[in-house]
Amino acid sequence: MIRFDAIGSDSRNLPSTSSCVTVLRSPSHFCSPSILNQLLKIEGGSAAFPDGPPAWPVAGDAIFKSVNDALISGQWGLYEGELLEQTHSALQKMWGLSHCLLCSSGTVAVELALRAAGVKADDEVILAAYDFPGNFRAIEAIGARPVLIDVLPGRWTIDARHLKMATSDKTRAVIVSHLHGETADIESLVAIAHDAKIQVIEDVCQSPGAMLNGRMLGTFGDVVTLSFGGSKLLSAGRGGAVLCDDESLLQRARIFAHRGNDAFPFSQMQAALLLPQLSQLESFNQRRLSAVQRITAALSETKWLQSLEVGSLPAGNIPAFYKLPIRLKQNAPYERAAYLDVVAQEGIMLAEGFRGFVKRSSRRCRKVGDLKHSRSAAAMTMLLHHPILLSSNSDIDRLIEALGRAERYVIG
């Protein structure tokens, strides 16, 4: 069984992230003598990761103890109890916010956050045309109308320049998602939104623990949403949370969620799973960042692949990588699907990015501008799942080599 404390056991050899210095690689890295004669799986060779991608989530001693204690004490069978109280308190302390509502998923958390912000049927809510599909559906679930604006050129987060032109007298909120390890321009977005008297829902379901200028993402908007789904950096199998500083906002969400009982519950057992992970999040995010710095430095040497620029970050800026985006450059001489097929056979969990909403009917949403950058993101993005980022240096090297060899193969 893989345990948290066993993942990447040679992490002492990882480069320090305190200064966030790029680990540069020579152009010969992708054709080193040791791998010149190696074949990809598709060429009849052996897969880089014959056992497939690392398992996630995984449990360490702290999680085993927490769950066992919940069973012995009988806490696991209570609708409300000490574990839920501890989780509320821990999340409020971690984000420095006064109020917390736990719920059944990150998708439900977004809907509850919108209701907290006062969004009602026939209102409008702005979001990026490239975003998680559940955010679009959460707006529709209320009976409100999504308004789509573009993402930044070559990026995955909302372009603040388009926010003001998208507002109308029906606009009540904007959803700002920090996606794929990228931090949205949240300070500009909040300033523009508040000038227009629009509430900001800050979606950090993909980026718990990430920092901007020494401040936790999720503390800039009016309401923050978290996800604890099975694949997430903080995992309880399922679950989510809504946090804010304004009790009146969260009370709106509570009134909707509580119907004699909690309609979107988060259990005591889920709390037992989640609590031990909170103290590990910072160190795990640092280890993921170290791996990403090595991967993105190597990708910069490929001809048609690109990713985020994370080699040198200002002090106080720490991204969190649930997915690492790898993007085909324009006019690449091979198809994304062909590259993904080769990489999948190497046992690497790399998949297409979000489809986005550009093709959604105008009956379902209002579109502002041509949304060309969102269209490009949907067509060209691939996402590397995070568990590999906690692996050893040697595994990261194998990953890098496989990505480079796969590109050479599809180019022919």
Domains of the chain, residue spans: 25-58+280-411, 79-277
Superfamily grouping for domain 25-58+280-411: Aspartate Aminotransferase, domain 1 (3.90.1150.10)
CA distance 38 to 46: 8
Q: What is the mean pLDDT of residues 375-399?
A: 97
Please report the DSSP string for 131-157 in residue order: S-HHHHHHHHHHT-EEEEEPBPTTSSS
Contact 124, 171 (CB under 8 A): yes
Please report the DSSP string for 283-340 in residue order: HHHHHHHHHHHHHHHHHTTSSSEE----SS--TT-B---SEEEEEEPTT-SS-HHHHH
Q: What is the mean pLDDT of residues 106-129?
A: 98
**pLDDT of residue 35 exceeding 80:** no
DSSP state of 365: -
Residue 30's pLDDT band (boundaries 50, 70, 90)? low
Contact 262, 132 (CB under 8 A): no
Query: For the chain, how big is the Rg over CA atoms in Å?
Result: 22
CA distance 238 to 47: 32
| pTM of the complete model | 0.91
Decide if 25-58+280-411 and 79-277 have a common fold.
no
Residue 372's pLDDT band (boundaries 50, 70, 90)? very high
Encoded tokens for 387: 């568990």
Q: What is residue 29's predicted lDDT score, i.e. its pLDDT?
A: 52
**pLDDT of residue 6 exceeding 80:** no
CA atoms within 13 A on the CB side of 270: 23
CB-neighbour burial class of residue 208 (10 A; exposed 0-12, middle 13-18, buried 19+)? buried
pLDDT in tens, 174-216: 999 999 999 999 999 999 999 999 999 999 999 999 999 999 9
Q: What is residue 267's predicted lDDT score, i.e. its pLDDT?
A: 98
Encoded tokens for 309: 């620029």
pLDDT in tens, 250-293: 999 999 999 989 999 999 999 999 999 999 999 999 999 999 99
Q: What is residue 38's predicted lDDT score, i.e. its pLDDT?
A: 80
DSSP state of 54: P
Q: What percent of the chain has pLDDT over 90?
A: 89
Contact 206, 323 (CB under 8 A): yes
pLDDT in tens, 283-335: 999 999 999 999 999 999 999 999 998 878 888 999 999 999 999 999 999 99
Contact 324, 297 (CB under 8 A): no
Number of residues that make up the chain: 412
Identify the three-state secondary structure at position 229. Answer: coil
Q: What is residue 392's predicted lDDT score, i.e. its pLDDT?
A: 96
Per CATH, the number for 79-277 is: 3.40.640.10
Identify the three-state secondary structure at position 66. Answer: helix
Q: What is residue 311's predicted lDDT score, i.e. its pLDDT?
A: 79
CB-neighbour burial class of residue 281 (10 A; exposed 0-12, middle 13-18, buried 19+)? middle
Q: What is the mean pLDDT of residues 368-389?
A: 98
